[in-house]
Amino acid sequence: MTVPHAFDPEPAGSGTAPTHDLDALFPGSGTARPRVVVKPGLVVPHAETLPPEPADLPAVLAPVVDLLTGRRAAVLTGAGVSTDSGIPDYRSPGSPARLPMTFQQFVSSPDHRAHYWARNHLGWGHLQAARPNAGHRALADLERGGALTGLVTQNIDLLHVRAGSRQVVHLHGRYDQVRCLGCGDLSSRAALDERLTALNPGWRDRVAEDLEIAPDADAVLSSTADFRVAPCVVCGGVLIPDVVFFGSNSPRERVERATSLVDEAEALLVAGSSLAVMGGLRFARRAARDGKPVVIVNRGPTRGDELATVKVQVSTTTSLPYLAERLTAGPARG
């Protein structure tokens, strides 16, 4: 699921879009049936190694400071902001190749759902235990100092909120919520964890050695055949994490709120995102179209490099505190 980290697809029209009939899974005329569209994946640029941090940080970031001084910016963040909090990503140089489960796979069979929830049962605690890093805290400082209109994140880890950011649009959802595909009931992931633990006593301990964490509260496991899944407590329906799955679209209302933050801003700061999917790239294109400066801070190439007024290859945990010190009245918290 980025991502960071679930990801939006290319716009419709980029290929054939077969649909999946959900009548058998969600019977009854009163049951909401999500429309499922299979869309082509993206070819993602991938560098071999991360560039080193610059020796002269002030010189490298001087153009960024010059552009953003006196301008309120919107910020778009990706998985690169959270890697220093111990959350891996899908796209950084050296990341192992993974293909997250799609929504189509999740709804297609009970076996897929058992496989997903078994992995998530292990991996979600990793996100819950993660703590904001200096980059998250610097963005919260920038917001408090009046330098930002708000923040749009492609991450589901809630670290921006924990760091103190208030105006946050979670473009791809939040890992801490679960939704029923039948009745739409929204409940907490923590409550579901208690139910899954009761249904699968000792299961975590049995598979702990088979664990590799992925960016989306998922875990890579070789066997999940014996895992029991909990149904919705309201209607007995299928529960799904309240996030945007790989290959699916963000809800329109969320996209509209994010667009408003970008439109209200005088510049766009992209931090820790490769802009490899349309969900994030659209905002860089919109800002550039409107003649607003686009600043990209990312270690490695991005799909929006040609849109950037300034592009710097510096880690967000290094660059954002430096920017917060110079673009607000007080120093950023380390």
Range 97-129+176-243: architecture per CATH? 2-Layer Sandwich (3.30)
Check whether 231 is labelled as a binding-site residue: no
Q: What is the dihedral of CA 317, 249, 121, 207, to 10 degrees?
A: -90
**Stretch(es) of the chain classified as CATH 3.30.1600:** 97-129+176-243
Residue positions counted in the chain: 334
6 contacts 250 by C-beta, under 8 angstroms: no
| Tens of pLDDT, residue by residue, the chain (334 residues) | 333 333 333 333 333 332 333 343 334 434 333 333 222 233 333 444 677 889 999 999 999 999 999 999 999 999 999 999 988 765 554 445 556 788 999 999 998 899 899 888 888 888 889 999 999 999 999 999 999 999 999 999 999 999 999 999 999 999 999 999 999 999 999 999 999 999 999 888 777 655 544 444 444 455 677 889 999 999 999 999 999 988 788 999 999 999 999 999 999 999 999 999 888 999 999 999 999 999 999 998 999 999 999 999 999 999 999 999 999 854 444 5
Segment (H or E) for 120? helix 110-129
**Stretch(es) of the chain classified as CATH 3.40.50.1220:** 57-87+132-172+250-334
Q: What is the dihedral of CA 64, 67, 71, 73, to 10 degrees?
A: -50
Among 121, 126, 160, 172, the one annotated catalytic: 172
Residue 126 bears catalytic tag: no
Angle, in degrees to the nearest 10, between helices 278-289 and 252-264: 30
Dist CA 27 CA 36 (whole Å):
16
Check whether 57 is labelled as a binding-site residue: no
Check whether 232 is labelled as a binding-site residue: yes
Check whether 329 is labelled as a binding-site residue: no
The domain defined by 57-87+132-172+250-334 carries CATH number 3.40.50.1220: yes
Instruction: Give this prediction's pTM.
Output: 0.79
φ/ψ (deg, to 5) at 176? -90, 10
